[in-house]
Amino acid sequence: MLDAAAFRLYRDGEGTPAHATPEDLADAAVLGPEGGAKRLMHRRLLRAMAAEVLDVHPDAVRFQREPSGLVRVVAPEPLQASIAGRGAWTALALAPHPVGVDVELYPPDRDPPFDLLQQLEQDVILADPDPARLFLRFWTAREAYLKAEGRGLSVMPDQVRAARRDSEVALIEKGRPIAIARIVERDDAVAAIVELPSER
């Protein structure tokens, strides 16, 4: 039984993915060859991770993808899952409560969209010695939170504000703290994981 969130950050070629089941192949096929290949690799890594943390054979793990895109483990026990990929990196999380992850490349492969942030965030980021890295910490924290909430990008990014807290980022909405994101940095990747209580 999984009591707390499990998190993994893999570079392509790392980790030992489980073999693909017919369920995995069907889930990947809806995206076509290119997108499907990436989704299949993510699913195989998630299956292997779930099998490891639940101490079961990978074939015993059953997933369900909701219309929103959210993935859940439905057997051998219900768990929420979150998957994010960027470039050669994949971030995965499993938890018995809402969880979200995001990963971005550092340095960013395009100019950060500072105009999507609140003015206070822009001022803090631009005053930092490494504004691109701080932007990615704030951005991944925000995306991970919105995934955990199940809202995704249906919420404009400037509705949720981020604030620095050492290796964590505090998230604020309508003037009140709503979540803490744990930031994980490795080589050229910046990732975030947000866990939310089951009842909010």
Q: What is the pLDDT of residues 35-45, one digit of tens each?
A: 899 999 999 99
**7: confidence class by pLDDT, cuts 50, 70, 90:** very high
pLDDT: is 95 or 160 the higher one? Answer: 95
Q: What is the mean pLDDT of the chain?
A: 89
Q: What are phi and psi of 110, to 5 degrees?
A: -155, 165
Record the tokens describing residue 47, joined without a space: 């299956």
**181: confidence class by pLDDT, cuts 50, 70, 90:** very high
Of how many residues is the chain composed?
Answer: 200
What would you measure as the largest C-alpha separation in the chain, in angstroms? 51
How far apart are the C-alpha atoms of 158 and 32, rounded to whole Å? 33
pLDDT: is 1 or 130 the higher one? Answer: 130
Residue-range domains of the chain with CATH = 6-81 (no CATH), 102-195 (3.90.470.20)
